[in-house]
Chain A
Amino acid sequence: MIIGEFDGPQPYVSAVVEIPRLRVSGAVRFLVDTGAVVTCIHPKDGIPLRLPFGRLQRGEYITGVGGRSQRFLERTTLTFLDSASAATYVYDLDVRVGKPEHVGGELPSVLGQDVLSRWVMVHDPSDGRLQFHVRSADRRPA
């Protein structure tokens, strides 16, 4: 089971992110966004990761409450930890990365349905419980 946390009313879960093409890795705390189709890394996290925004290549537009804005697809590995059993769950997917000139700096990175659809979520803010039961992952450590 992966454990998340509430920050005020908002649900978050953390993962280690690795973008091999850009040789970038580090921890990111994602807003759990069941309304998002895809996972996005936004500048608030991309800048501390020292992400070379100038090397982003595969652009596309996404639409949200704030309107239409550009993101860039990067093959990314997300690793989540089950701290009780010390198991890790690994997902390889195209994450949408936002450049500072396109995305408001204060926006959190979001975990979308490309990962969430593979979990069962217990979302119980009244009890402070945010738990994820993994149905499937792309890889597990040997």
Chain B
Amino acid sequence: MAARGNLDDALTPPTGGAVMEPAAVSAMLDEHARLRSLLRNAVAARSAPDNDYWVGIGLDEVVVDAESPEAVMTAIERRGMAGGTVVMEFVSSVPQVFVL
């Protein structure tokens, strides 16, 4: 039986994407870094949290206190801030260490 799939899937070649110009790559990376920095500063300006929360930024406006990354994205979309780059972070109320 043939696999079922989205028409877009069938029309898109299974190879890589187009090679982007360095200026476009640089612009995307710079914007991501800029928003990350804004977000980090916003989190640092807040007092230490009693509870874990998610925080996100789109169009330079910070959304805080969402319980999940999906909730952050929903709030950002609801405010009409999802047109460009969006960055989000988890803020833990207790120290956490990653061991991957």
Contact = CB atoms under 8 A, between A and B. Distances in A.
Contacts of A23: 8, 12
Nearest to B19: A141
Interface of B: 5-6, 8-9, 12-23, 25-26, 28-29, 31-33, 36, 54, 56, 68-70, 72-73, 82, 85-90, 92, 96, 98-100
Interface string A68-97: 000000011101010100111010100000
A16 B32 CA distance: 10
Contacts of B15: 20, 75, 92
A35 interface: yes
Interface string A6-34: 00001000111011110101111101010
Interface stretch (A105-113, A117-125, A126-134): A105-113
Contacts of A33: 100
Contacts of A35: 100
A140 B25 CA distance: 13
Interface residues of A, number: 49
A33 to B, nearest CB: 5
Contacts of B5: 57
Contacts of A83: 26
Contacts of A26: 28, 32, 85
A47 B21 contact: no
Contacts of A141: 19-22
A61 B72 CA distance: 28
A26 B73 CA distance: 15
Contact of B68 (A87, A105, A110, A138): A105
Given A26-B28, A35-B100, A75 B14 contact: yes
Contacts of A20: 12-13, 15-17
A64 interface: yes
